[in-house]
Amino acid sequence: MSEPEDQGDAHGDADRGDLSGDLRSVLVTSVLNLEPLDEDLYRGRNYWVPTSQRLFGGQIVGQALVAAAKSVSEDVHVHSLHCYFVRAGDPKVPVLYHVERTRTGASFSVRAVKAVQHGKAIFICQASFQRMQPSPLQHQFSMPTVPPPEELLDHEALIDQYLRDPNLHEKYRVGLNRIAAREVPIEIKLVNPPSLNQLQTLEPKQMFWVRARGYIGEGDIKLHCCVAAYISDYAFLGTALLPHQSKYKVNFMASLDHSMWFHAPFRADHWMLYECESPWAGICGSRGLVHGRLWRRDGVLAVTCAQEGVIRLKPRVSKSKL
């Protein structure tokens, strides 16, 4: 098995290396642990459900990639995937994943995955796998300079800090309480969290350190890619909302498509910097586009992501004080 490089021991991640099995990441033991039903047919269970009461898109992407990866040999690894969400997922029933072996070549292999509930497709995906091939053609952008995760508040502590502020507007207080109640299997530390005064004038950009909760270990690269697929959808489309949340509230928001490109080995249970930005959102079609880059903390660009979603807003109405 090929293993991702260990990039975190000098920064406090080494203590995860000797954790016992009962502390393994729930993403591995439950969310991404598919039940085989037949050849190229799997059943996935649901774990965390957003407040929208629709299935979390990252779960479907991650489980679909698990199903696709089971149909290829150990010496090939995913380099890209392209997905469409075609119906809302029902959190009350499992998801069936059917894999089609589109092509198995000497260097590249392609798999199509269809996720089904109630007899209808809710999601379709194409994933391409490649054998490792060294190349002299190498370059990448530079990783942003940001504080390390050890110097930042975790998501729960940051939300608690906001909620303790007596000047926090009620429209933000309600949303933060909902976020605090979530049991999400990932850890997040926001870089440069905005102050209350800055919430009115945010750019469509955000950065946060992220990793899977619990221990995964130096397993197959494919497993870490599947975990990253789950992580990549969290708070991603919300980047397009940041400049508008003071004037509008969400009436409906859902992912339409999701793409990922995998560039270098990594460990999803080590801290990675998720750099997100929305270059465009338009009134025509009520859609928003977001781009993302997942950086290893040693500066290597590991994953690039892109997503478009539908975002329907309605103006916030100020309550009269009379």
- Strands 287-296 and 186-190, by their bridges, are unpaired
Catalytic residue among 233, 259, 269, 278: 233
- Looking only at the bridges linking them, the beta strands covering 205-212 and 186-190 are antiparallel
The residue type at 242: L
- Give 21's Cβ-side CA count (13 Å radius): 1
Rounded CA gap, 35 and 45, in Å?
Answer: 9
Q: Rounded to an integer, what distance in angstroms lies between the CA atom of residue 20 and that of residue 69?
A: 26
Q: Give the span between the Cα atoms of 55 and 46, in whole angstroms.
A: 8
**Catalytic-labelled residue, pool 59, 255, 259, 278:** 255
What's the N-to-C CA distance of the chain in angstroms?
A: 69
- 255 a catalytic residue: yes
Bridge pairing between strands 287-296 and 301-315: antiparallel
Q: Which one is catalytic: 59, 109, 128, 307?
A: 307
Partners of residue 255 on adjacent β-strands: 309
Q: Is 59 helix (H, G, I), strand (E, B) or coil?
A: helix
b/e string for 17-45 if b means 16 or more Cβ within 10 A? eeeeeeebbbbbeebbebeeeeebebebe
Active-site residue 233, yes or no? yes
SS3 204: coil
Edge to edge, the sheet with strand 35-38 lists: 35-38, 41-44, 95-104, 108-117, 120-131, 76-85, 248-262, 301-315, 287-296, 272-282, 205-212, 186-190
Alpha helices in the chain (DSSP H): 26, 57-69, 155-163, 170-180, 221-232
The residues annotated with a catalytic role in the active site are 233, 255, 307
